[in-house]
């Protein structure tokens, strides 16, 4: 850690009130806060108590006088072959129209609006319009299928859902509204209305009269809408974002308003070094936390233009991202290691084809960044690459370099140091004591968590405490559920999850959810899903299933057919993103004597490693079967 950054970090921990009080000046407050930090009810943390602000005001209205005619949103679709630019003035007008429509449908402060949308400008208008009027958005990733969507509808109980007829992927239409219909049928809490942005992509879209409404028609009635901002107390919720954990039921990560606005604006200055008037390109999707923080709010709060890209990284060719960087003079880019590994397989000439002189930094997060990939992209791009570690829960980086404070050297494979605001520790899993340098420990944060982190789990305060703050006996400490190690220079390295959560192409999936989906197939008696190392995607789910009736898998053909069916169930319930790479059928799962499935050992065998301590194993037959299935698949 450089001396300047060390001091910056120290101040944030030793004197959080002074530190964050200073950062809070980066945003507009309609009413000043009376207290920077209230930690009287640990681990619940309140930032900027009594202060009134609004995310939409800070992201849009605040910039109008100085940069109303500058670019705010750059929409590039290689799917629809369309490009549209919105200035801050135009973005303001569209957000007001959307807010006018939401209000006309009865949406009020505190109501939930569930957004299930492809990467189109209306998705961002919907998010900004929701927070403008003090309502709470819950964006669900478009790749999640109807069952996942229904679970989220039931938990968030939205008054309104916003969707499109369809998205597009690889030039083909992918239905959205159709999945919304299925999800509402499965849900116990149907929304009052479904607002549809009809892109003319799904001619067979069905409409439920009274419930379903066409956005274009309603927008036309609100062309001149001027919807006043609803000022929120800093700790009022701004959004809910669901994330997978070790149970089958995703958790609704709840974010506040003021703390989030301050943390993101500060991060644009200290971490990303993005300046007003420049362009920021995050290749994520609005359905993920990176999309919330660094497609929508972060860049706009900073007065930057944000690129909203609908398309694949290699279509029409592997130069498309670099063309966007050139055409829109992108200065900061944010992506995920998997995407870079995909590009690495393509012709490197694409990286030389475009003028990338505007680009200053590339940040990568979401999954481990291997050294070879980091080195390759840094050499090809000729700009610094920053790996940084964070989670849906934290909303912004936990481990990162902060080049805006001090340009510290990076080490490939390391997301550098604890971000300012995080009192980060590496703790021994059993004793909860700090581990010395070069020893593996659990990455943990001593609360209070800094601004921007989750304030609770939506509607479940007890689950918030129970899930995140009970890993270390007798100590109220936040666990990231990641293993980490720190070298003698103070650089951290992330070594993977401590729980059954897996990471596929930078996206977190709970193996339990996939197991539940597979178990819903009539032929399956029992199943274990583990994450197996994959060269491109980091990890892939792999399933080991026991069938109820062995005749279903009597021949290679029936086995193959059942595997396909099981994969189909996962596609339908959760989405193709969760589809296992393979479903192996075995007669018995390896379990401990107390009946717990030995997932770690299964995973080790599937990756060709030593299964470890097997003293608690009930019967070795199950493990032998896993081994045999994996070996047979390898030979095939
Ligand atoms: P999500 O909440 O979906 O963003 O997933 C967060 C998880 O992704 C973390 O708990 C880590 O397991 C993993 N992760 C995120 N960023 C990194 C990184 N830079 N290096 C290694 N793992 C990461």
pLDDT tens digits for range 292-309: 999 999 999 999 999 999
Nearest to 417, CA basis, from 16, 8, 11, 1: 1
pLDDT at 636: 79
Neighbours of 277 (CB within 10 A): 15
Q: Counting atoms of ligand 1 from 1, which one is nearest the CA of 399? A: 19
For residue 152, report the phi and psi dihedrals to the nearest 5 degrees.
-75, -35
Residues in CB range of 152: below 8 A, 6 or more apart: 114, 138, 140, 144, 242, 250, 252
Q: Would you list the DSSP string of 486-520?
A: E-TTS-EEEEEESSSEEEETTEEEEHHHHHHHHHT
Mean pLDDT of 124-148: 97
Of all protein residues, whose CA lies closest to atom 4 belonging to ligand 1? Answer: 391
pLDDT at 263: 98
Mean pLDDT of 372-379: 94
The residue with tokens 């896993």 is 626
Per DSSP, what are the bridge partners of residue 211?
A: none
Mean pLDDT of 342-356: 93
User: What does the alpha-carbon distance between residue 465 and residue 232 come to, in Å, rounded to a whole number?
Assistant: 25
| Separation of CA 605 and ligand 1 centre (Å) | 24
Task: Indicate the SS3 state at residue 257.
Answer: coil
In sign, the C-alpha dihedral spanning 601, 602, 603, 604 is positive
CA contacts within 13 A on the Cβ side of 296: 31
Q: Is the pLDDT of residue 249 over 90?
A: no
Q: Is the pLDDT of residue 613 over 80?
A: no
User: What does the alpha-carbon distance between residue 410 and residue 277 come to, in Å, rounded to a whole number?
Assistant: 28
The sheet with strand 478-486 has its strands ordered as 423-427, 441-446, 478-486, 492-497
Fold match between domain 3-468 and domain 501-635: no
Helices (H), ranges, 1-144: 3-14, 16-23, 55-59, 64-67, 88-104, 121-132
The sheet with strand 71-77 has its strands ordered as 82-87, 71-77, 305-310, 279-282, 330-335, 361-364, 385-387
| Separation of CA 522 and ligand 1 centre (Å) | 34
pLDDT tens digits for range 3-31: 999 999 999 999 999 999 999 999 999 99
pLDDT at 245: 80
Cα dihedral 191, 193, 197, 199 in deg (nearest 10)? 90
Q: Is the pLDDT of residue 615 over 90?
A: no
User: What does the alpha-carbon distance between residue 342 and residue 447 come to, in Å, rounded to a whole number?
Assistant: 38
User: What does the alpha-carbon distance between residue 213 and residue 205 come to, in Å, rounded to a whole number?
Assistant: 12
Angle at Cα 394 formed by Cα 378 and Cα 476, nearest 5°?
Answer: 130
Nearest to 167, CA basis, from 312, 293, 319: 312
Give the mutation target among 293, 391, 443, 496 for probing the ligand 1 site: most ligand atoms within 8 A of CB. 391
Residues in CB range of 81: below 8 A, 6 or more apart: none
8 Å CB contact between 428 and 477: no
pLDDT band at residue 614 using 50, 70 and 90 as cut-offs? confident
Q: Return the structure tokens found at 320.
A: 């498309």
Mean pLDDT of 538-564: 94
User: What does the alpha-carbon distance between residue 383 and residue 347 come to, in Å, rounded to a whole number?
Assistant: 19
pLDDT at 451: 98
Q: Counting atoms of ligand 1 from 1, which one is nearest the CA of 503? A: 8
Rg (CA), the chain: 24
Mean pLDDT of 558-568: 96
Mean pLDDT of 544-554: 93
pLDDT at 488: 96
Which protein residues are within 6 Å of ligand 1, measured from CB?
Answer: 243, 289, 365-369, 387-392, 415, 480, 482, 494, 497, 503, 507-508
Give the mutation target among 144, 398, 482, 578 for probing the ligand 1 site: most ligand atoms within 8 A of CB. 482
| Separation of CA 141 and ligand 1 centre (Å) | 17
Mean pLDDT of 120-143: 98
pLDDT above 90 as % of the chain = 92
User: What does the alpha-carbon distance between residue 31 and residue 328 come to, in Å, rounded to a whole number?
Assistant: 36
8 Å CB contact between 397 and 422: no
Task: Indicate the SS3 state at residue 212.
Answer: strand
Task: Give Cα 148 distance to the centre of its chain.
Answer: 15
| Separation of CA 474 and ligand 1 centre (Å) | 26
- Specify the DSSP class assigned to residue 389: B
Domain boundaries, the chain: 3-468, 501-635
Strand 193-197 with 212-214, pairing: parallel
Q: Return the structure tokens found at 142.
A: 């478009």
Going by CATH, does the domain composed of 3-468 fall within 3.40.50.12780?
Answer: yes
Kindly list the distances between the CA atom of residue 333 and the CA atoms of 169, 305, 341, 343, 356, in Å, as whole numbers in the listed order: 22, 12, 16, 15, 11
pLDDT at 619: 83
Give the mutation target among 282, 289, 291, 367 for probing the ligand 1 site: most ligand atoms within 8 A of CB. 367
Q: Is the pLDDT of residue 283 over 80?
A: yes
Task: Indicate the SS3 state at residue 175.
Answer: strand
Mean pLDDT of 373-384: 94
| Separation of CA 175 and ligand 1 centre (Å) | 29
pLDDT at 278: 98
Give the mutation target among 503, 513, 533, 538 for probing the ligand 1 site: most ligand atoms within 8 A of CB. 503
Q: Is the pLDDT of residue 248 over 80?
A: no
Q: Counting atoms of ligand 1 from 1, which one is nearest the CA of 387? A: 19
Of all protein residues, whose CA lies closest to atom 22 belonging to ligand 1? Answer: 367
| Separation of CA 263 and ligand 1 centre (Å) | 19
Angle at Cα 269 formed by Cα 263 and Cα 275, nearest 5°?
Answer: 125
Q: Say which CATH superfamily domain 501-635 falls into.
A: ANL, C-terminal domain (3.30.300.30)
8 Å CB contact between 582 and 563: yes
Q: Counting atoms of ligand 1 from 1, which one is nearest the CA of 481? A: 10
Of all protein residues, whose CA lies closest to atom 23 belonging to ligand 1? Answer: 367
Q: Return the structure tokens found at 309.
A: 């890209």
| Separation of CA 365 and ligand 1 centre (Å) | 7
The residue with tokens 């200073």 is 22
Of all protein residues, whose CA lies closest to atom 19 belonging to ligand 1? Answer: 389
| Separation of CA 188 and ligand 1 centre (Å) | 32
Average model confidence (pLDDT) for the chain?
Answer: 96
pLDDT at 572: 94
Task: Give Cα 598 distance to the centre of its chain.
Answer: 28
Give the mutation target among 143, 251, 365, 366 for probing the ligand 1 site: most ligand atoms within 8 A of CB. 366
| Separation of CA 624 and ligand 1 centre (Å) | 32
Q: Is the pLDDT of residue 192 over 90?
A: yes
| Separation of CA 545 and ligand 1 centre (Å) | 28
| Separation of CA 494 and ligand 1 centre (Å) | 9
pLDDT tens digits for range 409-455: 999 999 999 999 999 999 999 999 999 999 999 999 999 999 999 99
């Amino acid at each position: 850690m450089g001396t300047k950054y060390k001091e910056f970090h120290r101040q944030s921990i030793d004197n959080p009130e002074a530190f964050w009080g200073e950062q809070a000046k980066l945003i507009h407050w309609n009413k000043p806060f009376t207290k920077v930090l209230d930690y009287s009810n640990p681990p619940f943390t309140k930032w900027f108590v009594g202060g009134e602000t609004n995310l939409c005001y800070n992201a849009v209205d605040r910039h109008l006088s100085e940069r109303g005619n500058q670019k705010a949103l750059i929409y590039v679709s290689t799917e629809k072959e369309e490009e549209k630019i919105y200035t801050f003035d135009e973005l303001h007008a569209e957000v007001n129209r959307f807010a006018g429509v939401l209000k006309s449908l009865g949406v009020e402060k505190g109501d939930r609006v569930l957004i299930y949308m492809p990467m189109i400008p209306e998705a961002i208008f919907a998010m900004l319009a929701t927070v403008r009027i003090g309502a709470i958005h819950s964006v669900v990733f478009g790749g999640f299928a109807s069952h996942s969507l229904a679970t989220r509808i039931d938990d968030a109980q939205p008054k309104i859902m916003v969707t499109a007829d369809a998205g597009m992927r690889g030039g083909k239409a992918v239905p959205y509204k159709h999945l919304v219909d299925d999800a509402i049928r499965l849900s116990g809490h149907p929304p009052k209305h479904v607002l549809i942005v009809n892109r003319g992509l799904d001619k067979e879209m069905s409409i439920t009269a009274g419930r379903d409404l066409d956005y274009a028609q309603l927008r036309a009635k609100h062309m001149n809408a001027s919807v006043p901002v609803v000022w929120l107390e800093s700790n009022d919720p701004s959004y809910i974002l669901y994330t997978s954990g070790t149970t089958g039921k995703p958790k609704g990560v709840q974010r506040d308003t003021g703390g989030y606005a301050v943390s993101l604006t500060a991060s644009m200055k200290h971490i990303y070094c993005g300046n007003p008037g420049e362009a920021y390109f995050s290749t994520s999707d609005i359905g993920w936390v990176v999309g919330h923080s660094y497609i929508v709010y972060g860049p706009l709060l900073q007065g930057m233009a944000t690129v909203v890209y609908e398309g694949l990284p290699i279509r029409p060719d592997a130069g498309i991202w670099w063309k966007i960087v050139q055409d829109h003079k992108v200065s900061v880019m944010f992506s995920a290691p998997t995407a870079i590994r995909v590009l690495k397989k393509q012709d490197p000439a694409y990286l030389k084809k475009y003028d990338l002189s505007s680009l200053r930094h590339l940040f990568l997060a979401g999954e481990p960044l291997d050294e070879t990939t980091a080195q390759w992209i840094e050499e090809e791009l000729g700009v610094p690459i920053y790996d940084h570690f964070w989670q849906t829960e934290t909303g912004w980086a936990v481990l990162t370099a902060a080049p805006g404070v001090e340009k510290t050297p990076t080490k490939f494979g390391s997301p550098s140091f604890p971000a300012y605001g995080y009192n980060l520790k590496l703790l021994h899993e059993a004793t909860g004591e700090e581990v010395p340098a070069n020893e593996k420990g659990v990455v943990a944060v001593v609360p209070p968590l800094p601004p921007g982190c989750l304030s609770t789990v939506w509607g479940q305060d007890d689950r918030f405490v129970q899930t995140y703050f009970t890993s270390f006996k007798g100590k109220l400490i936040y666990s990231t559920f990641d293993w980490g190690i720190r070298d003698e220079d103070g650089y951290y390295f992330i070594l993977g999850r401590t729980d059954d959560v897996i990471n596929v192409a930078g996206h977190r999936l709970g193996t339990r959810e996939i197991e539940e989906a597979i178990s819903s197939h009539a032929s399956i008696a029992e199943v274990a899903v583990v994450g197996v190392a994959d060269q491109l995607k980091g990890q892939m789910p792999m399933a080991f299933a026991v069938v109820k009736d062995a005749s279903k898998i009597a021949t290679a053909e029936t086995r193959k057919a059942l595997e396909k069916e099981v994969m189909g169930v996962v596609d339908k319930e959760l989405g193709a993103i969760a589809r296992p790479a393979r479903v192996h059928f075995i007669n018995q799962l390896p379990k401990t004597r107390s009946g717990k499935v030995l997932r770690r050992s299964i995973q080790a065998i599937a990756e060709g490693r030593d299964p470890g301590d097997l003293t608690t194993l009930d019967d070795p037959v199950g493990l032998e079967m896993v081994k045999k299935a994996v070996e047979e698949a390898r030979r095939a």
